[in-house]
């Protein structure tokens, strides 16, 4: 199939490209990027007044499969990703059973191949069963195809074990994605940011220190072991400052932020809306301001959704009992454009870099760019499209979004994976999965 994308504003941060130009795709690859391409093709997409960018890469997604298929599956998560403009997603290992061995990785890879509209790269657990006692066989997992290791959902409490994992990851040249939370610093029932708002609402708090202690620890351990560390879902002023200081001292380290942590604060927490409950929790205005500064000055390299689907059953309970997490794949680009580009925090190219080439570099994979010869993973966005987010329109099996009803601007219209149009003018290709 030959596909021509005409007259789009092509933004490719990896090659410093930002101009109105055409892209020609054949047999799954980009074969030409030039002005006024005139050839016979099977299909032309008129991208006039649209952005044409590398397919988005999300390094932090929960697909819930195996074990929690009532919340999401590899198929529905893949559909949700395609709808959001993502062409590659990395899935976290906190499934049941945990992704900690070759068999489960093969299961995920097999299902991804047959059922997902987008590329899925599994992430292996750091410890067996995420029990924090014994390391998983990291080498075996890398051979089976994991792109990284992570204990996401919790922290490896034992520093010695974490150091050992970092050493092995360094040897195998894969990154470690760290969920930073010292559980011993959190009171039982902690459900939102600890501060004035939690005291007013009478909800038990989760302190900033409980995150920052582990950010500092893991940066120290990563430095000693020479391994690649990515701080997951950074949420506090202190964490941003720690990462900024380490980078200034020359440490090569990565940090990701989720859209809800640059958009909402603990003032948005309402006890009757459990879709404002996630881990780490929504923090204060000061924290959000610091995150925005960190996005602007490059301290924060990556935007990752932490797509964490939960069933109504897990959310229609008291605030304290509700599950942590929100869906994110279908609202990410809209929040990036509305909150960051349209408010002048990031240039279009800076936003796209944090969703494409930066995550690709962190993972060490050849993706996230538009170059002749590259696999044609491409997203086309209408940045002028204004609408109200409606969680009932989500492709995800779960609807737990705090952004339901929020007015935003920007939507992915076409998602092209391997040269194949999996979302065509807002409509997903396969209805059977």
Per-residue binding letters, 296-315, with Zn ion (x by CB under 5 A): ----------x---------
58, 65, 306, 382: the catalytic one is: 306
The C-alpha atoms of residue 228 and residue 99 are separated, in whole angstroms, by 21
The C-alpha atoms of residue 15 and residue 197 are separated, in whole angstroms, by 45
Q: Does 278 bind ligand NCD (CB under 6 A)?
A: yes
Residue 306: CB minimum distance to Zn ion, A? 4
Task: Quickly tell me which residue has 């796209």 as its tokens.
Answer: 352
Neighbouring CB atoms inside 10 A of 191's CB total 25
Does 311 appear as a known binding residue? no
Q: Does 412 bind ligand NCD (CB under 6 A)?
A: no
The C-alpha atoms of residue 368 and residue 248 are separated, in whole angstroms, by 26
* CB nearer Zn ion, residue 82 or residue 90: 90
Per-residue binding letters, 324-363, with ligand NCD (x by CB under 6 A): xx--------------------------------------
Q: Residue length, the chain?
A: 433
Our answer to whether residue 306 is catalytic in this structure is yes
Per DSSP (E only), the strands in 296-419 are 302-303, 378-388, 407-417
Does 324 appear as a known binding residue? yes
The C-alpha atoms of residue 159 and residue 153 are separated, in whole angstroms, by 17
Q: Does 256 bind ligand NCD (CB under 6 A)?
A: no
- Per-residue buried b or exposed e for 326-345, using 16+ beta carbons within 10 Å of the residue's own CB: bbbbbbbbbbbbbbbbeeeb
φ/ψ of residue 98, rounded to 5 = -65, 145
Does 56 appear as a known binding residue? no
Task: Quickly tell me which residue has 């016979």 as its tokens.
Answer: 40
Q: Does 62 bind ligand NCD (CB under 6 A)?
A: yes
Task: Quickly tell me which residue has 């697909």 as its tokens.
Answer: 63
Q: Does 94 bind ligand NCD (CB under 6 A)?
A: yes
Residue 154: CB minimum distance to ligand NCD, A? 7
Residue 62: CB minimum distance to Zn ion, A? 6
Does 260 appear as a known binding residue? no
State the number of binding residues for Zn ion (CB under 5 A): 3
Per DSSP (E only), the strands in 166-206 are 176-178, 192-193, 205-206
Q: Show contacts with ligand NCD in window 132-161 (CB under 6 A).
A: 152-153
Residues comprising the binding site for substrate? 62-64, 94, 279, 310, 324-325
The residues that touch ligand NCD, with contacts defined as CB under 6 A, are 62, 94, 152-153, 179, 278-279, 306, 308, 324-325
The residues that touch Zn ion, with contacts defined as CB under 5 A, are 152, 179, 306
Point out the residues that are catalytic. 306
């Amino acid at each position: 199939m030959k596909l021509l994308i005409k007259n789009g504003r092509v933004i490719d941060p990896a090659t410093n490209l930002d101009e109105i130009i055409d892209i020609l795709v054949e047999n799954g690859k980009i074969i030409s990027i030039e002005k006024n391409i005139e050839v016979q093709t099977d299909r032309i997409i008129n991208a006039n007044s649209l952005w044409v960018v590398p397919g988005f890469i999300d390094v932090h997604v929960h697909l819930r499969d195996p074990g929690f298929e009532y919340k999401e599956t590899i198929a529905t998560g893949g559909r949700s990703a395609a709808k959001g403009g993502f062409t590659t997603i990395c899935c976290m290992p906190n499934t049941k059973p945990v992704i900690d061995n070759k068999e489960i990785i093969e299961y995920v890879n097999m299902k991804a191949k047959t059922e997902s509209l987008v590329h899925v790269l599994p992430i292996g657990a750091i410890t067996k069963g995420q029990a924090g006692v014994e390391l998983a066989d990291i080498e075996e997992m890398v051979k089976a195809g994991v792109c990284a290791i992570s204990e996401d959902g919790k922290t490896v409490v034992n520093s010695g074990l974490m150091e050992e994992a970092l050493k092995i990851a360094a040897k195998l040249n894969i990154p470690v994605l760290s969920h930073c939370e010292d559980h011993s610093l959190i009171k039982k029932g902690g459900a939102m940011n600890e501060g004035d708002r939690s005291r007013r609402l009478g909800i038990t708090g989760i302190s900033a220190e409980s995150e920052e202690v582990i950010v500092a620890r893991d940066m120290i351990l990563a430095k000693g072991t020479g391994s690649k560390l990515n701080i997951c879902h950074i949420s506090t002023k202190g964490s941003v400052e720690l990462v900024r200081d380490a980078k200034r001292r020359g440490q090569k380290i990565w940090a990701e932020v989720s859209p809800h942590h640059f958009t909402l604060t603990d003032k948005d927490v309402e006890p009757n809306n459990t879709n404002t409950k996630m881990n780490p929790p929504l923090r204060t205005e000061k924290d959000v301001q610091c995150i925005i500064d960190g996005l602007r000055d490059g301290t924060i390299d990556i935007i990752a959704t932490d797509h964490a689907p939960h069933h109504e059953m897990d959310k229609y309970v008291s605030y304290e009992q509700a599950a942590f997490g929100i869906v994110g794949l279908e609202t990410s680009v809209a929040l990036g454009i509305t909150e960051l580009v349209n408010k002048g925090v990031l240039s279009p190219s800076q936003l796209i870099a944090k969703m494409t080439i930066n995550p690709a570099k962190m993972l060490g994979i050849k993706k996230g760019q538009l170059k002749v010869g590259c696999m044609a993973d491409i997203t086309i966005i209408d940045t002028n499209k204004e609408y109200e987010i409606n969680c009932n329109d989500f492709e995800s099996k779960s609807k737990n979004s705090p952004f339901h009803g929020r007015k935003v601007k920007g939507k992915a219209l076409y998602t092209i994976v391997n040269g194949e149009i999996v979302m065509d003018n807002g409509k997903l290709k396969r209805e059977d999965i």
